[in-house]
Chain A
Amino acid sequence: MSERKDSCDVVVVGLGATAGIAVGPLTQAGLKVVALEAGGRHDGDSRYVADEIGNDVRNEWGMSKTNLEVPTLRGSEDDTAAPPFARMPMINVVGGSALHSTSVYYRLFPWHFRERTETIERYGKDHLPEGSSVQDWPFGYDELEPFYTKVEELLGVSGKAGNLNGEIVPGGNPFEGPRSKEYPLPPLRQTGFAEMMGRAATDLGLHPYTGAAGIRSQPYKGLNECTYCGFCSFGDCWRGAKGVTSLSGIPEAEASGNLDVRLQSRVVSVETRADGRATGVTYVREGKEYFQPASAVILSTFTYENVRLMMLSKNEHHPGGIGNSRDQLGRNLHLHNLVIVRGLFEGQELNNNGGTAAQTSTIDDWDGDNFDHSGLGFIGGTSMTAVVETKPISLARVVPGHVPRWGSEWKSYLKENGRSIGELILQIEQIPYTEHRVDLDPTAKDPYGMPINRTTTRHRESDYKAFDFLTEKGRDWLKAAGASETWVPEMYGMLSVQPHCYGATRMGEDPAESVIDASARVHDAPNIAVLCSCTMPTAGGRNPTLTAQALAWRTAEKLVEDWDEVAG
C-alpha cells in the first residue's frame, strides 16, 4: 500500500531540460508544484570533468536509471528486438541530459512547421515518401517564436541573428525564420578549423555562420563563460558554462517557495479516474511506494520513458495506456540519421582536440527546403557543421575504411595523420511512419521487473537517397577546404537509441493521428501534459533541445491560462 502525500497543483515527472523551463511559469503563477526526479543533483562536483571513459564510455550519470532500461531495437514488426549495439546515453540528474549535451541550440525553420503542406504545394503529393505519416504542426513558427526568445534569454544562448524581424543580417544564418531579438550573447569563438571551413563554404557560394550554442560565450547573470576545454558532448562542464535548467530556471522556481523537488524518486505509474483524467502519480523512493495526488500531471522525461510510463499506466479507464485510445501512442517515431563525414588534410595540424563541438562553422544550405528537392526522392535535409572536440578515444576510431583498425599499419596511419583529420556532423532529418514506434518489449525487463521499451524503425528508400545526396555535399565542402581524401565511417545505419528522438506522442488537432493536442495535453486525459521532443511532428536537421524547451514554456503558460478547466 502506498503512502499518500499531501496534494499539490501540478506534479512533474522528471526535472530535466524541459520541466526545468516549465516550472518557471507555473510557480510564478502561484501553482504548487512537486517535481519527482529519478536522479540526484549535480552540485557542481568535478567527478566526471574531462572524463571520456566515465562519460562517453560508461555513462556513470545514467547508472541510477537510464543505463538499466536501454530500449531494444528491431527493424520491423516481423523481427525480434535485440539490445542495440550502439547507443547514445541519457542521464538522470536535475537539469537532465542537457548537462552532458553538446548544446548546439538551433531553432527550427518556419518550413518545418508546415512540412507536409509546403512539400505538396511545391512538389506535388507524389513527392512525399511513400507510406510516410508526416504532418504539419498544429501551429506555425510565429506562435513559437516568443518562447524561443524567452528560453534563449533565460539560459544565455550565444549566437548571431541572421534574420531580425524579417531583415537579413550579415554574419548570421540567412535561412532562419524571423527573430524578434538578437541573441543575448555573441557567438562562441570560432576555431582555426571552423574559420578555414567557413572560407571554403563562402568560396562554394554557401552561407556559413557560427552556430548558436546553449553555452555562454561571456559571463551572464552571474554565471560563468566557456573555456573551450573540449569535453562538452556527453561530458560535465567544469565551469558550469552550459545553459542548463539546474542553473537557470529551477533555482528561481525553488526560491519562490512553490517548487518541492524530490530526488531519487522513480515514478512507476500515472493514476486516473473514471473520466480518464489523472489523479496523481505513484512513485518509489528508497524502496518505499508513495502516491502524490495532483490536479495536473506533466510528463517531462525523455521520449522513451514518457511513452513507457504512459503504456505502463494502463488501467480500466485507459486499457491501452494513457493517450492510446486510438493506437497512436508510441507511433510516428523519427530520429536523426547521425552521420560524420571526415576529411584528411595532409600535413596540417588542425588542433581539433580542444574546444566544443558547438564552436562551429555551420551551413543550412542543405536543410529544410533551402534547396530544390525536385527529383531527389526525399524531403528535408540537415544542418551541416564543421566541428572540433575530437576526444582521444574517438580520434583513434576515425581511420578510413582502407586502413586496418588495429596492428602496425593502423598505428602508422594514426601517427602520420592523427592531427590532420577534420569532420562534419550531419543530422539528417527522418520523417515519421506509423509503423516506426516505441512500445513495451514483450520479454525484456528492467531490474525492478518492469518491461523496458522496444523500438521499431528502419531506413527507408528516401533515407538512403538523402544520405547519398547530403554526404556528397559534405565531401564537396571538405574537399573545397583542402581535404585530399574524404570518407564516411560506419556510423551510417545508426538507427539506434539516441537523444535526437522525436514523435511517439505527437502533437496534432486530430486525435486519430496524434496523442496530444495543440496545447500539448493528452487528447483522452486533458489534465496530463507532455513535454520533450516526443511531442514534435517534425524534427528538422537540427538539434532538439531548444525547440523542446520553447514548447515547454508555451505548454506551461497554456496550463496556467486554462487552469480552471485543467484542474476541474
Chain B
Amino acid sequence: MSSPTPDHARLITAIVDTLVPADDNGPGGSEAGVDAYISGVVRDNEAMRGIYEPSLDALDAYATSSAGAKFADLDLEGRTKVLKAIEAGEAEGGFIPDPATFFAILHHNMLEGFFGDPQYGGNVDFAGWKLVGYRGVKLIQTAADQAVNAAPDRPLTGRREALEVALAELAKESGEAVAAK
C-alpha cells in the first residue's frame, strides 16, 4: 500500500491548514504545499514513516474521543484544541514516541515545508519566504544587500535559479575582464 494512504494524506492537509491557517497574512499550509512536503517525507523516509503512520492514527483517535469527530471534520477551533493537547503532551494514545515529541517532529517538518527551498515541494509561490520577508537566495551579496534599512528590490529566487544567475554574473565579469585586456 502506498504511504501515506489517502486518509493520512487528507489528515496531513487538515493538520497543516491548522498549523498555518489561511488568513490576512497569506495562504494556508496546503496552498503553500506544506502537506505535499510532509507527505513526501512520509513516503521517502522509512524512519519517519514508522513515526507518522501510528501517530496519525492516534491523532484521529484522540480527536474522535476528545472532540467527537475525526480531526479533518472539526472546525479550526476544534482542531487547534486537539493539536495544543498533543503539543502539551496531554493527549492520550499511541503516539510515537510520545505526543509531545511527535508534535515537535511535525512542527519541524511544517517549518521545512513552509520555509524550505521550493525545490523540495513546499513553499509554493514562495509563500513562506514572503511571510517572513526572506529575500530569496542570492549567491553574490553586495554591501548594499546587507545594509540596514535597505530594501533590495529583486524577484524571489530559489537555489537552483540563484546558482544559474550567479554563474552568469561571474561569466559576464570574466568576459568583461578579457575584453578590457
Chain A interface (Cβ < 8 Å from any Cβ of B): 46, 49-53, 57, 85, 189, 191-193, 195-196, 227-231, 238, 348-351, 353-355, 359, 388, 392-393, 395-397, 405-408, 411-412, 414-415, 418-419
Q: Is the CB of B111 within 8 A of A238?
A: no
Q: Which of B9-28 contact A (CB under 8 A)?
A: 18-21, 23, 25-26
Q: Is the CB of B149 within 8 A of A349?
A: yes
Chain A residues whose C-beta falls within 8 Å of the C-beta of B166 in the assembled complex: 227, 229, 238
Which residue on chain B has the smallest CB distance to residue A196?
B148
Measured between C-beta atoms, what is the minimum distance from A285 to chain B in Å? 26
**How many angstroms between the C-alpha atoms of A407 and B87 in the bound complex?**
13
Q: Is the CB of A228 within 8 A of B159?
A: no
Q: Is the CB of A411 within 8 A of B26?
A: yes
Chain B residues whose C-beta falls within 8 Å of the C-beta of A192 in the assembled complex: 146-150
Q: Is the CB of B141 within 8 A of A396?
A: no
Interface residue from A51, A227, A351, A355 paired with B159 (Cβ < 8 Å): A51
Contact A351-B114, Cβ < 8 Å, known A46-B163, A227-B166, A395-B132: no
Chain B residues whose C-beta falls within 8 Å of the C-beta of A85 in the assembled complex: 101, 104
**How many angstroms between the C-alpha atoms of A412 and B26 in the bound complex?**
10
Q: Is the CB of B148 within 8 A of A193?
A: yes
- B49 contacts the other chain (Cβ, under 8 Å)? no
Chain A residues whose C-beta falls within 8 Å of the C-beta of B132 in the assembled complex: 392, 395-396, 414-415, 418-419
Would you list the 4 A-B pairs with minimal beta carbon distance, nearest first? Answer: A418-B132, A192-B148, A354-B141, A419-B133
A-B contacts, 18 listed (Cβ < 8 Å): A49-B163, A189-B146, A191-B146, A191-B147, A192-B148, A227-B139, A228-B140, A229-B141, A229-B166, A349-B151, A351-B150, A354-B135, A392-B132, A395-B132, A396-B115, A397-B111, A408-B23, A415-B131
Chain A residues whose C-beta falls within 8 Å of the C-beta of B135 in the assembled complex: 351, 353-354
Q: Is the CB of A415 within 8 A of B148?
A: no
Measured between C-beta atoms, what is the minimum distance from B181 to chain A in Å? 17
Q: Is the CB of B163 within 8 A of A238?
A: yes
Q: Is the CB of B112 within 8 A of A393?
A: yes
Chain B residues whose C-beta falls within 8 Å of the C-beta of A50 in the assembled complex: 117, 137, 139, 159, 162-163
- B145 contacts the other chain (Cβ, under 8 Å)? yes
Measured between C-beta atoms, what is the minimum distance from A20 to chain B in Å? 26
**How many angstroms between the C-alpha atoms of A52 and B19 in the bound complex?**
21
Interface residue from A348, A350, A415 paired with B26 (Cβ < 8 Å): A415
Chain A residues whose C-beta falls within 8 Å of the C-beta of B117 in the assembled complex: 50-53
Query: Which of the listed residues A50, A228, A359, A406 has the most CB atoms from chain B within 10 Å of its own CB?
Result: A406
Query: Which of the listed residues B114, B149, B152 has the most CB atoms from chain A within 10 Å of its own CB?
Result: B149
Q: Is the CB of B147 within 8 A of A418?
A: no
Chain B residues whose C-beta falls within 8 Å of the C-beta of A51 in the assembled complex: 117, 159
Chain A residues whose C-beta falls within 8 Å of the C-beta of B23 in the assembled complex: 408, 411
Measured between C-beta atoms, what is the minimum distance from A157 to chain B in Å? 21
**How many angstroms between the C-alpha atoms of A196 and B147 in the bound complex?**
10
Chain B residues whose C-beta falls within 8 Å of the C-beta of A49 in the assembled complex: 139, 159, 163
- B172 contacts the other chain (Cβ, under 8 Å)? no
**How many angstroms between the C-alpha atoms of A34 and B64 in the bound complex?**
63
Which residue on chain A has the smallest CB distance to residue B21?
A408
Contact A53-B147, Cβ < 8 Å, known A227-B141, A418-B131: no
Q: Is the CB of A355 within 8 A of B116?
A: no
**How many angstroms between the C-alpha atoms of A228 and B26 in the bound complex?**
30
Q: Is the CB of B146 within 8 A of A228?
A: yes
Measured between C-beta atoms, what is the minimum distance from B155 to chain A in Å? 15
- B3 contacts the other chain (Cβ, under 8 Å)? no
Interface residue from B112, B140, B149 paired with A57 (Cβ < 8 Å): B112
**How many angstroms between the C-alpha atoms of A407 and B116 in the bound complex?**
18
Chain B residues whose C-beta falls within 8 Å of the C-beta of A191 in the assembled complex: 146-147
Which residue on chain A has the smallest CB distance to residue B101?
A85
Contact A396-B21, Cβ < 8 Å, known A50-B162, A227-B141, A355-B141: no
Contact A355-B137, Cβ < 8 Å, known A50-B162, A52-B117, A407-B19: no
**How many angstroms between the C-alpha atoms of A195 and B146 in the bound complex?**
11
**How many angstroms between the C-alpha atoms of A513 and B87 in the bound complex?**
46
Interface residue from B111, B146, B151 paired with A354 (Cβ < 8 Å): B146
